[in-house]
Each structure stands twice: as structure tokens, then as C-alpha cells.
Structure 1
């Protein structure tokens, strides 16, 4: 008894289908993990941090206050402080007067 005309062909076809599915799965997993680590999002540039553009359009110098400005920006984005408080604290961090103006 032989395998017949279709036996070997179906075996090869099944193996090829499994290899293609495995390749698609691995490619999807690889792209998914790479996208997780390289996905752009809000960061220091959006908050006027190191090398970014600040809210007034000037390039940031990358100084010591950048970390504080970033944290202040995060607090404002989360709604912990209002715009007036954000602007007042930002002026203080940048060496300006603390009063409203």
C-alpha cells in the first residue's frame, strides 16, 4: 500500500503552511516588542526639556532646571495643578519673579 498521489503533496503543503504561520507569528512578535520600546510619545521635548523647544519657542539649554520643568509639565498634564500655578512655578524655575504677571 502506497501513500497515493495526494499523500506526499498534502504533507508538504501542511508543513509549508505551518512554516508560514510560524514566520508570521515570529514577525508579529518581533515588531510588537520593537514598537513597544520605540513608540514615540510625549517626552521632555514636549515639556521644554533637554534639547526641546520650550513653550515660548526658544530652544532649551539642557540645564539643571530641565528635570524640574519636566516634572512640573507632568503634574500640569495630569491635572494636579492649574495653568496659573504652572505658569507661576515655571517663571520661578526659569529665574523670573514669582508674582503674577
Structure 2
């Protein structure tokens, strides 16, 4: 029934162990890549070609960015008004005039 030489030697156990680790590693890697590909294609925020998301919301307008810089104190009121008048050339509200 149990003849000599039919069971795996030490190298056989080593080869089977490495093979099993490689098998599960490839299977798990394939599963992770598949889930990432499916979730990326269903994400409405991705841009075509780059795979990067555009963020949480719409991009701020130049006026909003300028207002944020003014609020942080990066620019003074005079510079704020002059830049705002450049951004709104058709607005005759008196921005940039003193």
C-alpha cells in the first residue's frame, strides 16, 4: 500500500508551498485589480485617459480664487479690486476705481 519513494521529499514540500503562495498571490492580485477597474469605470468623477478624479465638487471660479486669496491676506484690498476689475471687464460697478 505505502511503497517507498511515492511521497514527496523535502524539495517537493517546498515546491508545493511556494506554488501555493504564488497561486493565491496571483488570484488575490487579479481580484484587487478587477475590483479597482470596475469601481474606476463607475466613478463619475474620473476623467477619460488620465484616471485621476476631478475632486469633490466643481472647480472654483477665478473670482472665488481671488476672494480666497484676499481673505487669507495674501493680497491687499487695492490689488484685489484691480485684479477683480480685470476679471470683470464689462462690469461698470466701479471696481478698481477710487
TM-score scaled to structure 2, two decimals? 0.40
TM-score scaled to structure 1, two decimals? 0.39
